[in-house]
Amino acid sequence: MNVENYFRESLKDHKLHLTLLDPEEQSPDKAVSMAKEAVAGGTDGIMLGGSTTESSELDATAKALKENVDVPVILFPGNITGVSRYADAIFFMSLLNSSNPYWITGAQALGAPTIKKMGIETIPMGYLVVEPGGTVGWVGDAKLIPRAKPDLAVAYSIAAEFMGMKLLYLEAGSGAGEPVPGEMISKVKKTTDIMVIVGGGIRSGEEAAQVAKAGADIIVTGTVVENCSNIRSKISEIVEGIKSV
């Protein structure tokens, strides 16, 4: 099935959890064993990406995951190097609040011909970086959305919807001290019909539940898996949090 439809169909029943793996952080075999644990814990898909990705590493990891794991593998590109033919889909993302046109339409134009040849599914996504923003905010020249200004996020979200984007990703930055504020998520969700993904700084079932309760449709965790001795139980804690709301 097409990944966007898989999201839509699943959302009729439950909110989704995606596990972010960085292909640079471990071998393809290790990524497969981590992903299998995450699936056993209840994750609904694997996102693959990092702020500095090398294409051959990405290919090897995407291929291994696709052959060995039963949930969709979705690319989360940090640049034009974040593209691989072995994934099920790519978040075709534009960093809407960047001050550098490269991250809004430049990387997209440079990557598009290759992606078209590969024939993988593209999911148009608005990417909004909220304070503190982490590496992504710095690399992406983001004019960070202040945590206390949910209306700015709402304005970008309405614009994303009007531009035809199917998903809006509210990003606090990998490893952020706190997730995106609940008030921001709920205002965005109330004002738009777009599917809302939230990530950055979510480490516990309780935090995941708060983000889900605020209205996030899809909740992403990355760092928590990198630093965890029992991936299955951590992911199942987070998934239970999400499903408890």
Ligand X SMILES: CC(C)=CCC/C(C)=C/CC/C(C)=C/CC/C(C)=C/COP(=O)(O)OP(=O)(O)O
Determine which residue in the list 133, 200, 205, 241 makes contact with ligand 1GP, applying CB under 6 A.
200
173 annotated ligand binder: yes
Selection from Mg ion, ligand 1GP, ligand X, none that 111 binds (CB < 5 to 8 A by kind) is ligand X
Determine which residue in the list 174, 192, 210, 236 makes contact with Mg ion, applying CB under 5 A.
174
Please give the Cα distance from 36 to 166 (Å, whole number).
Answer: 28
3-state class (DSSP) for residue 29: helix
Residues 60 and 28 sit within 8 Å (Cβ to Cβ) = yes
> Smallest distance from the beta carbon of 89 to ligand 1GP, in angstroms?
17
Q: How many angstroms separate the most distant Cα atoms in the chain? A: 44
Nearer to ligand 1GP among residue 13 and residue 43 (C-beta): 43
Site string for Mg ion, 1-40 (x = CB under 5 A): ---------------------x------------------
Residue count of the chain, please give it: 245
CA R_g for the chain: 16
Site string for ligand 1GP, 174-193 (x = CB under 6 A): xxx-----------------
Residues 14-33 that bind ligand 1GP (CB under 6 A): 20
Residue type, 19: T
DSSP string, 201-236: S--SHHHHHHHHHHT-SEEEE-HHHHT-S-HHHHHH
186 annotated ligand binder: no
Measured from the Cβ of residue 24, the count of other Cβ atoms closer than 10 Å reads 14
Point out the annotated binding site for Mg(2+).
Answer: 22, 51
Footprint on this chain of ligand 1GP (rule: CB under 6 A) = 20, 136, 171, 174-176, 199-202, 220-224
